[in-house]
Chains A and B, each alone.
Chain A
Amino acid sequence: MAPQDKPLAAPALPPSAVEGIKTRSRHLRGTLVASLADALTGALHPDDAQLCKFHGFYQQDDRDLRAERQAQKLEPLHSFMLRVCIPGGVLTSAQWLILDDLSQRYGDGGLRITTRQAVQLHGVIKRELKPTIAAINRAMLSTLAACGDVNRNVMAAPLTNSAKLTETLQRTARDLCVALAPSTGAYHEIWLDGEKLSESDPPVSEEPLYGPTYLPRKFKCAIVAPPDNDVDVYTQDLGLIAIADGDNLIGFNVVAGGGMGRAHGDDSTYPRLASTLGFCTPDQALDTARAVLTAQRDLGNRGERHHARLKYTIDRVGLDAFRSEVESRMGFAFQPERPFVLGTTLDRHGWFELAGQTHLQLCLPSGRVRDDGNQKLRQALHELASVHLGDIRLTGNQNLILVNVASKTRKKINAIVERHGLLAPHSGLRLSALACVAFPTCSLAMAEAERYLPSLITLLEQKLEALGLKDEPIVMRMTGCPNGCARPYNAELALVGRAPGLYDLYLGGNRSGSRLAKLVATNLNEQAIVERVTTFFERFAQERNSGEAFGDFCVRAQAVNS
């Protein structure tokens, strides 16, 4: 351990514009009330458009219509994406039905399951934000801190080999969400007609954990139960890897500093997998999380937002120094890491038994729940939720599990599943694929993702089928920009958008999500993507070892420089 004569500090940089907005916001109040009341625009005041993220929503506009409306002397067609925090992805059927109803009443008619086990409503207009958020809270859910420079929705393994262990981990996720939530009264004041604070500055005591400027950047936590890695633990700012003995949780291996985002053309930004800090016991977990979060709060880069995530903080101060900082904040030391083995990041599909219970897992392409022509997925889930008695759990792969299906409802549920063709055979590639939202609503999107991936997969499936690889599970992910919302950089095969119709190709991540993929080619159009990827598929079909996964093959065969 280095001598602590020189305490660690944040980079000495002038604060970024967003830091100024947070500082002036009086604990996230800003001028949101005035912005909501401004009838001349469907948008928020620019500062409030930053602050609203902390309240759980993003301002977006229909980019397909931008040019048309500009010519019509109309402002962009603004609407809002609302994200609902769902710790561990656990919902009751009744809550699902409420969210579904809200999407019909105030949203664009559909729901999206996110890569963090949360649910998004899209297309909510400004004057309907308040009734929507109020209704979400009445359903015992919240949007607070679903986005913004705070701890986001805490992920947890939706199922493990032990029902008791699952419950312990889920409870830990809920406790973490509560312990790391902002405590400002702004949310209640604005959305739930809570008592208004006077115009003066709020007391410091209102926000003891975060202070007036919150975190330098978003902060993501997840709890994983080996061997499954469906929460993709190495991509998190803080990961807790459960070490258990049957039903009993012994403690967690703590990893920190994962993150996907990077920027095109800027090598000082990069994806990074989380590093191991050590082991802690279950009763130390909340203190550990608080210590990591506050260390990042005080040491993170507040001058450059693209260098503000925890991963850059750890690389700047060094892992050992960061660990010491966390330990001094916790008041105890980490124990040595315990052995464990991670299997796959992929989900199951269909009916399965686990820990003496029967579950049904449904694969939802890109987590998109909506009625689309003959494919009435929204209607199907509405029917299922009306019948199913147990929980619904969402997965980090944007899928959905009906947990502990009672034997008396199985027949009804099977009938719904069959009527809607929910278990139709899909290729391994399609079942494993993830895509971010991208166009038309995401303001960061440079290329299509969710709207385009299904048709690209169709092209690739033809090649895979010809090679006898139709059922091969291959972790494939696509994003419309380099920020990495669908976690492309540790996938076996990933496409990252650069411009409309042009993508960078990454290969060589592994199924367990513990290895980064490598950049193989840049600026590929569809034809080039299919050609390049097919070349690798062909070699894989001919040269693979028995049971070898695609990403592992790419590395072994030096198809990518690893």
Chain B
Amino acid sequence: MPPNDETDLTALSPEQRDALDALLATLSPGQSLLVARWVLARFDAAALAEDRLERASGLTAPSPQGLTVLYGSHSGHSAGIARQLATAARQRGWAVKLADMADYSRGTLRRERNLAVIVSTHGEGDPPESAAAFFEFLRGTRAPKLEGCEFAVLALGDKSYVKFCKAGADLDVDLERRGGKRLLARVDLDVDYQDGANVWVDAALKAFEPRMVAAPGTVAEAAQPRKARFSRDTPWSAELLHRVDLSGRGSTQHFIHLELSLDGSGLKYHPGDALGMRPENDPTLVAQLAEALGQSEQTEVDALGSCCSLAEALTRRLEIQKVSPSALRRYAGLGAKALDRILDDPEATTKYLDGRDWLDVLREHPAKIEVNQFVSLLPELASRSYSIASSQLEHADEVHLLVSRVHFTAHGRGRQGVASSYLSDRLRLGESARVWIEPNTQFRLPEDSNQPIVLIGAGTGVAPYRAFLEERAAAGQSGKNWVIFGNRQFQADFTYQTDWLRWRKDGVLTRMDVAFSRDQAQKIYVTDRMREQGRELYAWLEQGARLYLCGDRTRLAADVDRTLVEVVMTHGNQSHDEAVTYVEKLRSEKRYSKDVY
């Protein structure tokens, strides 16, 4: 196939082009097509995503030639010097990124090549409060290697304190320890810092200058392994890097944010995709079951056709919390005769099984059965799927999840969701979970990066929207973004609040409406906000906006559908039927996508 105008092969060397031409000359058109397909399949999404990564990092992350001015400030002095340096650098035509440690995106640190840092010291040698997390990050196990990064540190302090400029000194050491190269010796300044700061700014400009005019370097990222096919049967072992309960004090729920490592897996995902995961049962419950069965946990059993210990079977392979009526019937048939009375009445069976697991059944209706008979009653432990809450443009080697931790008490015992408690409590930092990517092509950002989007979600339904906004922010996409989010309390349950505020400040988040149901006597939901903002919502739809809905299937989805029809009726001056058709059309044109569960 001869190169056409749109195919730019100048990226190849003359030798490579000659070789390719020679090969193509020997191929029939059919063979050429086969080769083309084969090449595409081999590099497919992985290669494309990587290509996108590079383009995007060229837009927002510092180019190898750019300067990043990073500051940690309490009373604004460091910030002032940082702005001074950034302004002077921009006047020289350099690409400059000015960032506050408080909201500096950690994922970009590994791509920094030229880093000027200004930080003050407080109290007993501490960094500014807002920079404390960044300092911790740099010292932690997740800090990236900074080889290829050259840096200069300016430390502000107050000589009347014992640990003068200690935070700056610490940072200076830490950057070098991570592999960075010190371009300028650190400068420490006292409270009368301005003259010294001017001198330092000049010195920094001079020091970074040769690196700014240097020819485009070849700082290629380490070659990524080719995309591997991880799946439910061959999952990737993703190390848990970070976990935090996002629900503030006073919250009645627990939204757990998790960050898992994909480093080395080659796994690629799109915002909107889900992460498949095989959970593990609670070992305490497993031990109690073994005890109720009168068996050692080491007993060999046959689980789903292969041999393993009872502990392995009950922990990792089989479902032990949910009891189906048919399994209960089979169990009764094995000797628990007293259950027959319950099983005779379907309603009583449902009622009995509500909130009960196998431990309850074994304890309340003991039967003398073989351990393998019991094991054969249990179905395979189902895998779970969670909407991904991150973009790889921002976190290349990570995947973030938002999980609601479920705890409740039933029949006198504390209960917990299998997967949510596994991810929230049992999986420890440094341990790995079995994961794979589950693509969701129906719930992707629009192809057209200019298309406006309206993201409606409640509770953990906000997770994919964080991924969407991260992606649009990192890629510099210009489409308008509107989030309508609902949860319980503003102070404690505003999930990812600082991310939204940052995106709003940066102009990425065009508007956001929030509904906190429990902040006032009268409950308020996202549908109330849709109604209040109906005129604007209809205007966005008329401008071609694509609508997304994510969250609870039963409680949220139907209400949002109904409200949407109302909005179209009211503000589009349409009859009910016309409005229903309008919403149907949105759906058929793929402008109304749902991810409900």
Q: Do A72 and B490 contact each other (CB < 8 Å), given the known contacts A41-B501, A67-B133?
A: no
Q: Which of A42, A127, A265, A499 contacts B123 (CB 8 A)?
A: A499
Q: Using Cβ atoms and an 8 Å threshold, which residues of chain A touch B159?
A: 265
Closest to A66 in B: B129
Inter-subunit contact A40/B246 (CB<8 Å)? no
A residues less than 8 Å from B496 (CB atoms): 73
B123 touches A72 (CB 8 A): no
Rounded to whole angstroms, the CA-CA distance of A232 and B512 in the bound complex is 51
Verify if B162 is at the interface (C-beta below 8 Å from A): yes
Q: Is the CB of A72 within 8 A of B248?
A: yes
Q: Which residue of chain A has its CB nearest to the CB of B161?
A: A499
Known: A40-B500, A77-B491, A498-B161. A67 touches B129 (CB 8 A): yes
Bound complex: CA of A496 vs CA of B201, how far in Å? 35
Q: Which residue of B lies closest to A502 (CB)?
A: B124
User: If the complex has contacts A67-B133, A72-B244, A74-B246, are A40 and B501 also in contact, measured as CB distance less than 8 A?
Assistant: yes
> Cα distance A399–B160 when bound, in Å?
35
Decide if B285 is an interface residue (CB 8 Å cutoff).
no
CA distance A266 to B160 in the complex (A): 10
A264 at the binding interface (Cβ < 8 Å): yes
**Is A534 an interface residue, CB under 8 A from the partner?**
no
B133, B257, B491, B519: which contacts A70 (Cβ < 8 A)? B133
CB pair A71 B512 closer than 8 Å: no
Count of chain A residues with a beta carbon within 8 Å of a chain B beta carbon: 29
Let me know if B12 is at the binding interface, CB within 8 A: no
Instruction: List CB contacts (< 8 Å) of B485-503 with chain A.
Output: 490-492, 494-501
Q: Which residue on chain A has the smallest CB distance to residue B160?
A: A265
Does A75 lie at the interface of the complex (its beta carbon under 8 Å from any beta carbon of B)?
A: yes
Tell me the residues in window 102-130 of chain B with beta carbons closer than 8 Å to chain A beta carbons: 102, 122-124, 129-130
Is B247 in the interface zone, CB < 8 Å from A? yes
Q: Which residues of chain A are within 8 angstroms of B552 by Cβ–Cβ distance?
A: none
A290 to B: closest C-beta gap in Å: 35
Is B22's CB within 8 Å of the partner chain A? no
- CB-CB under 8 A from A446, the residues of chain B are 123
- CB pair B497–A500 under 8 Å, yes or no, is no
Known: A71-B133, A498-B161. A265 touches B244 (CB 8 A): no
A74 to B502, CA, bound (A): 11
Indicate with 1 or 0, residue by residue over B286-323, a CB within 8 angstroms of chain A CB atoms.
00000000000000000000000000000000000000
Tell me the nearest residue of chain A to B246, going by C-beta: A72
**Distance A127 CA – B490 CA, assembled complex (angstroms):** 11
- Given the known A-B contacts A70-B133, A75-B501, A264-B158, are A40 and B514 also in contact in the complex, defined by CB atoms under 8 Å? yes
The reply to whether the CB of A69 lies closer than 8 angstroms to some CB of chain B is yes
Q: A77-B248, A266-B191, A499-B161 are in contact. Are A39 and B513 (CB under 8 A)?
A: yes
Contacts of A67 in B (CB 8 A): 129, 132-133
Residues in B with CB closer than 8 Å to A498 are 160-161
CB-based nearest A residue for B516: A39
15 pairs of residues in contact across A and B, judged by CB atoms under 8 Å:
A40-B504, A63-B129, A66-B129, A70-B498, A72-B244, A73-B244, A73-B496, A74-B497, A75-B497, A77-B491, A125-B491, A265-B159, A498-B161, A499-B122, A523-B160
Nearest 8 A/B pairs, CB to CB: A499-B123, A265-B191, A265-B160, A73-B498, A72-B246, A265-B158, A74-B497, A73-B496
| Residues on B facing A (Cβ under 8 Å) | 102, 122-124, 129-130, 132-133, 158-162, 190-191, 244-249, 257, 490-492, 494-501, 504, 512-514, 519
Contacts from A to B (Cβ < 8 Å): 39-42, 63, 65-67, 69-75, 77, 125, 127, 264-266, 446, 498-502, 522-523
- A71-B133, A265-B190, A523-B162 given; 10 more Cβ-contact pairs under 8 Å: A72-B247, A73-B496, A74-B498, A75-B498, A125-B491, A127-B519, A265-B191, A498-B160, A500-B123, A523-B160
